[in-house]
Amino acid sequence: MDPWRSWWDYLIIFTALYSTIVIPIQIGVNPELLGKWYLIIDIITYILYFADFFIALRTTQTDELGLEIRDDWTITTNYVKSPGFWIDFFSLWAAPAVDTFSMFGIFKLNRLLRLLSIISGSNLEKGMKSGLSILFYFGLLLIYLHITGCLWFVFVYETYLISDERFAYLESIGRLDMFVGEADSGVPVGISAWVPPYDFYDGSEYFWTRYENGEWGFVYYVCLYYATLIIGGNEMGPKEGKELLFCVGLNLFGALFNSYIFGELAVLLASADTKDNEYQSVLDTANTAMDNVGLSADTRKSIRTYFKTVQMTMTQQGELSALQKRIAPSLRKKLQGEMFRTQLKTNKVIIATLGTIAKASNIDPTLGLHDSMAIVQSMNAKKRLQSFLPKLVDKLGTALETPETACVVQDTIPSDDQTVMFFINKGTCIVNVTDR
């Protein structure tokens, strides 16, 4: 991917995270959030989203065979057919200072999903990827609770505006002219505002009184608290029709969303412990075998220590072997070249051989340019110098041995054609020679 596009994605992800956190609070709980700066930042973020929408129309894609699509018309058609286009399109309806479609700003959450693609396509180790993916899904769960809590307040606040509790509060401060509900001759119409369920028991928290006093933090925390509780099926205490319908939809959608999030987290947590589980399985098998044959405590301890010592090495060897089996031969050669080239350049025998070839590549100035044979020999020597290490690497194989394994035993090679040479890339060895 183009480095510029990568940085642009990071900027859009950060902007979407800001919008996902701030917009629900500003719409639902605290309209005065950030003051005059909210509109300024909203205009800047809207320009970024608008630019990102058109950049997506010009970004190359890959087809089902993994080939890059560069045709502009095909790219545009594929993007328009995707759900992402319509989500991005409707999110642009939430323009700055336009309250009619402000709720559409929640669709900007879609851009946060790019972070998961970045994590999946990174070159990080498997365990690190699993850890970052776990953090991503956990963060997605927190965002879901945040949006749910703010939306819940939107619904209960609409009821509160026309409720008896609002009427009583405005009457106490002498501002009944601000009441937007229906009341005949100053008599309330019997609509009850939502009250946090714990207030059913003691009534000491005065939720709406604290809202009227501008305690936005308390109001937000209460809604977030009950949004978290509803995951476990707890009661939110809806009173009016809108609140009841919202709770029905929230429970139905929440069941699907929770299953998805917790399912992904369970899979990631299981994969993160794969190596430890494999090691524990091997150790349990060894303990059973040692118990069956009645080994002494000291021998058992030595064997368990051996397993702990070589476990990481054995795991790395297995991963390397699996990688070599799955890639093409040409890529396998490149892999071996990266593994062995540095080690070969420091080998004394290789250094001496390269020095001999290098001497042969120098033209004797006393021969003159008319001596074509000398020139040809020098050119051939230069080619040999350039191709020596790559050809040597191509001939190398990979032997992954566990500690104390005999790589080769003296007098066991049947013929000179099967003679092998070993280069130690990592680790040490001991050579024992039998005197004939």
Distance (Å, rounded) from C-alpha 152 to C-alpha 221? 12
Both tokens of 306, joined, read 């051996």
14: amino acid identity, one letter = F
Task: Give every residue of the chain whose pLDDT is below 70, as ranges.
Answer: 1-2, 61-68, 97-100, 177, 180-190, 199-205, 272-279, 311-314, 316, 341-342, 360-382, 385, 397, 399-400, 413-419, 425, 436
307, 286 contact by CB (below 8 A): yes
Q: Which pLDDT tens digit goes with each residue over 231-249?
A: 777 777 788 788 888 888 8
What is the Cα–Cα distance from 420 to 345, expressed in whole angstroms? 19
What confidence score (pLDDT) does residue 70 get? 74
pLDDT at 433: 79
d(CA 30, CA 23): 10
Cα–Cα distance measured from residue 25 to residue 220, given in angstroms and rounded to the nearest whole number: 8
**Residue 212 identity (one-letter amino acid):** E
Cβ(200)–Cβ(237) below 8 Å: yes
Q: Would you state the pLDDT for residue 89? A: 81
Residues 98-124 as b/e (b if ≥16 CB within 10 A, e otherwise) read: eeeebbbbbbbbbbbeebeeebeeeee
